[in-house]
């Protein structure tokens, strides 16, 4: 991995974690971004919490983790707006078929999709799902729509999936995602 420290130093990066088995890779992503000097803030869907607990991300990011826009204990009045306005970049990893569809339709019923609508920063998606779901015409159309709106997409890759199959749908590795984040920010 190339040292991206200079490019990520003090960059405000929001990591949206959604509910797929690849959520465990988001922990490595957050850790690597922090090591590269980024100020990392994590937002999670309720489904993501089924895979990785918020405490993991709070410990790795050194920041509060937002899981519910309406939690009275949130550190910000409107966390999706607060984070969206300050973000230098929003990465959604893993980006499930559900989240990709909601983003393409402009739905904002969780903190991850609401933050995506509340930001003007670059949005990077790291899809992760079964090969059948990824190749479905709806998913492909939603990704085309999002690319047309300026979203960047990294992956998915061919590799072992949760089903045991070797196929497309595996989330890109965190180090590759960090490299893509640095390239996007450097180009701004």
Domain architecture of the chain: domains with CATH: 5-187 (3.40.50.1950)
CA distances, 130 to each of 23, 84, 158, 165 (Å):
14, 29, 11, 9
Produce one character per residue of 81-96: b if its CB has 16 or more CB atoms within 10 Å, e if not: bbbbeebbbbbbbbbb
- Contact 84/56 with Cβ under 8 angstroms? no
Tokens for 184? 């996007």
**Structural contact between residues 151 and 117, judged by C-beta atoms closer than 8 angstroms:** no
Degrees (nearest 5) of the Cα angle 86, 89, 94? 125
49 DSSP 8-state letter: G
The Cα–Cα gap between 47 and 45 comes to 5
Tens-binned pLDDT, residue by residue, of the chain (188 aa): 445 556 799 999 999 999 999 999 999 999 999 999 999 999 999 999 999 999 999 999 999 999 998 898 888 889 999 999 999 999 999 999 999 999 999 999 999 999 999 999 999 999 999 999 999 999 999 999 999 999 999 999 999 999 999 999 999 999 999 999 999 999 88
Helix (H) or strand (E) holding 15: strand 12-17
* pLDDT at residue number 54: 97
pTM for this one?
A: 0.95
């Amino acid at each position: 991995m190339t040292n991206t420290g200079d490019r990520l130093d003090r960059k405000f990066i929001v990591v949206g974690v959604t509910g797929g088995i690849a959520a465990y890779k988001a922990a490595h992503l957050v850790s690597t971004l922090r090591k590269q000097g980024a100020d990392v803030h994590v937002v999670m869907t309720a489904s993501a919490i089924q895979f990785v607990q918020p405490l993991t991300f709070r410990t790795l990011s050194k920041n509060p983790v937002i899981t519910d826009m309406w939690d009275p204990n949130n550190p910000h009045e409107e966390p999706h707006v607060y984070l969206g306005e300050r973000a230098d970049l929003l990465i959604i990893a893993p980006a499930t078929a559900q989240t990709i569809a909601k983003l393409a339709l402009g739905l904002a019923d969780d903190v991850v999709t609401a933050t995506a609508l509340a930001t003007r920063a670059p949005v990077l998606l790291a899809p992760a799902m079964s090969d059948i779901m990824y190749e479905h015409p709806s998913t492909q159309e939603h990704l085309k729509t999002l690319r047309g709106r300026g979203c960047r997409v990294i992956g998915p890759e061919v590799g072992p999936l949760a089903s045991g199959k070797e196929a497309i749908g595996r989330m890109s590795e965190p180090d590759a995602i960090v490299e893509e984040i640095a390239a996007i920010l450097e180009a701004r």
